[in-house]
Copies of this chain bind each other. A is one copy, B any other.
Amino acid sequence: MKIIRTIAEMNQLSKQENASLGLVPTMGYLHEGHLSLVREARGANTAVVVSIFVNPIQFSPDEDFDAYPRDLNRDLKILAEERTDIVFVPSAEEMFPREYASWVEVTSLINRLEEAFRPGHFRGVTTVVAKLFNIIRPAKAYFGQKDIQQASIIKKMVADLNMNIEIMIIPTVREDDGLAMSSRNSYLSPAERRAATVLFKALTLARKMKQGGEQDANNLRQQMSSLIQKEPLAHIDYVSIADADTLEELFLLDKNALAILAVRIGKTRLIDNMLLE
C-alpha cells in the first residue's frame, strides 16, 4: 500500500497509471460505511485510491473541524487490511495555501436541507472534490447514500462541468440497531447512542406508512417528527419527504420519494435518509 502525502507525487502517479482508478474520498476515522465503498471500488477498478483529508473549507467557524475525530495510524492499518492500493493524505497547507481563491459551486439542489443549516458547506465539498478529481483522475468515485444531498450535488457538478468520472452511490451501512455508520457517532455518550436510534425508527416509520398506502407526504413528516420529539435528547433540524432526484419537497407520494432527516442528539448532529419503496 502506497501512502502519498504530496499533490505532485499523487499527480505523477495518476498520470502513470493507465489503469482505471477507483477513488474513495474520506475524512478518515474510517468505519464499515467507508470500507463498503472501498470494497465496491476494489471490485470495479484495477486500483483503489482512498483519500483521507479533513477538509477545512466545508466546516463553518462554529462547527466541529478541530474536534472532528482523527486517527491516521488506525485508518492506515484498516486500509492495508482491505488491500487498498494507494492512500492519499495531503496536508491542509498544500491543498489550501494562504492565497487560495478558487471555488466550484453547484447552485441547484442546495437551497435547503443541509445547506439551510450549514451555509457554504457544499461549496467546500464540491471544491475539495473537484481538486481531488483533478489530482487523482479516477475513472469512478464512490460516495455513501447517507450523505445523499452531497452525492446528488457531486453528480450534478460532474455532469455540468463535463468531468469524465462515474459517480457511484453506495447504500448506507448500519449498526445492528439501525443507526447509520458515521465518524460522528464517536461523539455520542452511551445515553445519546441509545437515543440516536430514533433516526432509523423515524425513517422506518415513514417507509411503513408509505407501504401501508399513505399518499400525503405531510402526514409522514408529522408522524416522523412526533416520534422524534418523544426522545428527550433529540432535537430536529429538519424532516423532509423529498423527490429522490431533485430533493424538492413532495406533497404527494407519487414519485420516487426519500425520507431525509437531520437530528441533533445532544451536541452531535446526525443525518440519515431512506428510499420509500
Interface of A toward B, CB cutoff 8 Å: 7, 11, 15, 99-109, 126-127, 130-131, 134-135, 137, 156-157, 160-164
Q: Do residues A104 and B102 form an inter-chain contact, with CB atoms below 8 A?
A: yes
Q: Do residues A105 and B106 form an inter-chain contact, with CB atoms below 8 A?
A: no
Q: Do residues A164 and B102 form an inter-chain contact, with CB atoms below 8 A?
A: no
Q: Which residues on B sit within 8 Å (CB–CB) of A99?
A: 108
Q: Which residues on B sit within 8 Å (CB–CB) of A160?
A: 100-102, 131
Please give me the residue from chain B that is nearest to A18 by CB atom. Answer: B18
Please give me the residue from chain B that is nearest to A103 by CB atom. Answer: B105
Q: Do residues B101 and A11 form an inter-chain contact, with CB atoms below 8 A?
A: no
Q: Do residues A157 and B102 form an inter-chain contact, with CB atoms below 8 A?
A: yes
Please give me the residue from chain B that is nearest to A132 by CB atom. Answer: B162
Please give me the residue from chain B that is nearest to A130 by CB atom. Answer: B161
Q: A137 vs B133: C-alpha distance in the bound complex, in angstroms?
A: 13
Q: A130 vs B103: C-alpha distance in the bound complex, in angstroms?
A: 12
24 A-B residue pairings within 8 Å (CB atoms): A7-B162, A11-B162, A11-B164, A15-B164, A99-B108, A100-B160, A101-B106, A101-B107, A101-B109, A101-B156, A102-B104, A102-B126, A102-B156, A102-B157, A102-B160, A102-B161, A103-B106, A104-B105, A104-B130, A104-B161, A127-B161, A131-B160, A131-B161, A134-B161
